[in-house]
Structure 1
Amino acid sequence: MKKFDFLSQRYVGYTFSIVSLIITVILFFTPAYTMKYGVDFKGGTELHYKFNKAVSDDKIRQILKDDCGLAFSVVQSTYTGDAGNAEAVVLKGESREKIIKTEFLANESYKDKTTGKEVKSLKDMREKFDAALVKLDKDLKIEEILRESSVGPAVGAELRTQAAFAVFVALLGILLYVTFSFEFKFAIPALISLFHDVMIVLGFIMLVGLEFDMSQLAVILTVVGYSINDTIIICDRIRENYKIMKKASYYDMVNESLAQVFSRTVITVLTTLLPLIAIFFFGGEVLSGFAMTMIFGMICGCYSSIFVVSPLIVLWKTYEEKAVA
Structure 2
Amino acid sequence: MFQILKSEGTIDFMRWSKGAVVFSLLMIAASIYTISTNWLNWGLDFTGGTLIEVGFENPANLEEIRTSLSDRGFGDATVQNFGSARDVMVRLRPHEGLQGEQLGLQIIHALEEGTGESVEMRRVEFVGPNVGDELAEAGGLAIIVSLICILMYVSMRFEWRLAAGAVLALAHDVIITIGIFSIMQIEVDLTIVAALLTVVGYSLNDTIVVFDRIRENFRRVRKGGSVEIINGAITQTLSRTLITSGTTLFVVIALFTKGGANIHGFATALLLGITVGTYSSIYVASNLALKLGVSREHLMPPKVEKEGAEFDEMP
User: What's the TM-score, normalizing by structure 1?
Assistant: 0.79
Q: Which runs of 5+ in 1 are unaligned?
A: 79-88, 110-118
Distance 1:201 1:275 in 2: 19
Q: 1:8 aligns with which of 12, 15, 26?
A: 15
The verdict on how the C-alpha distance between 1:152 and 1:57 changes in structure 2, with shifts beyond 3 A counting, is: farther
Confirm or deny that 1:141 pairs with 2:141.
no
Deviations 1:95-148 (A, max 9, x none): 4xx55432124xx24xxxxxxxxx79852552342352365354x332x654x3
The verdict on how the C-alpha distance between 1:219 and 1:64 changes in structure 2, with shifts beyond 3 A counting, is: farther
SS at match of 2:256: helix
SS at match of 2:180: helix
The verdict on how the C-alpha distance between 1:297 and 1:68 changes in structure 2, with shifts beyond 3 A counting, is: same
Work out whether residues 227 and 298 of structure 1, in 8 Å CA contact, stay in contact via their aligned partners in 2: yes
Confirm or deny that 1:130 pairs with 2:109.
yes
Matches within 5 A, 1:257-296: 257-296=233-272
Kindly name which structure, 1 or 2, has the bigger radius of gyration based on alpha carbons.
Answer: 2
Confirm or deny that 1:221 pairs with 2:228.
no
Distance 1:74 1:216 in 2: 19
Distance 1:120 1:264 in 2: 52
Which residue does the alignment assign to 1:41? 46
The verdict on how the C-alpha distance between 1:171 and 1:41 changes in structure 2, with shifts beyond 3 A counting, is: same
The verdict on how the C-alpha distance between 1:232 and 1:65 changes in structure 2, with shifts beyond 3 A counting, is: farther
User: What's the TM-score, normalizing by structure 2?
Assistant: 0.81
Which residue does the alignment assign to 1:171? 147
* Count of residues in correspondence between the two structures: 290
- Farther off after superposition, 69-78 or 225-234: 69-78
Work out whether residues 68 and 114 of structure 2, in 8 Å CA contact, stay in contact via their aligned partners in 1: no
SS at match of 1:29: helix
Distance 2:239 2:138 in 1: 37
Distance 2:90 2:17 in 1: 46
Work out whether residues 189 and 312 of structure 1, in 8 Å CA contact, stay in contact via their aligned partners in 2: yes
Matches within 5 A, 1:26-37: 26-30=33-37, 33-37=38-42
Identity %: 32
TM superposition shift of 1:223: 1.1
Work out whether residues 179 and 187 of structure 1, in 8 Å CA contact, stay in contact via their aligned partners in 2: yes
Distance 1:134 1:231 in 2: 56
Which residue does the alignment assign to 1:151? 127
Work out whether residues 269 and 298 of structure 1, in 8 Å CA contact, stay in contact via their aligned partners in 2: yes
Q: Which runs of 5+ in 2 are unaligned?
A: 299-315
Distance 1:55 1:68 in 2: 24
TM superposition shift of 1:55: 4.6
SS at match of 2:94: coil
Which residue does the alignment assign to 2:94? 104
Work out whether residues 68 and 125 of structure 1, in 8 Å CA contact, stay in contact via their aligned partners in 2: no
Deviations 1:255-304 (A, max 9, x none): 10000011211121111112222333333444333323321211100111
TM superposition shift of 1:205: 0.2
Which residue does the alignment assign to 1:194? 170
Distance 1:182 1:120 in 2: 53
Distance 2:107 2:77 in 1: 16
SS at match of 1:46: strand
The verdict on how the C-alpha distance between 1:236 and 1:54 changes in structure 2, with shifts beyond 3 A counting, is: farther
SS at match of 1:71: coil
SS at match of 1:228: helix
- Farther off after superposition, 284-293 or 229-238: 284-293
TM superposition shift of 1:62: 5.5
Confirm or deny that 1:241 pairs with 2:241.
no
Letter in 1 for 2:263: L
Which residue does the alignment assign to 1:23? 30
The verdict on how the C-alpha distance between 1:154 and 1:57 changes in structure 2, with shifts beyond 3 A counting, is: farther
- Farther off after superposition, 168-177 or 200-209: 168-177
Distance 1:277 1:199 in 2: 22
Give the aligned CA root-mean-square deviation in angstroms. Answer: 2.8
SS at match of 1:247: coil
Distance 1:318 1:124 in 2: 61
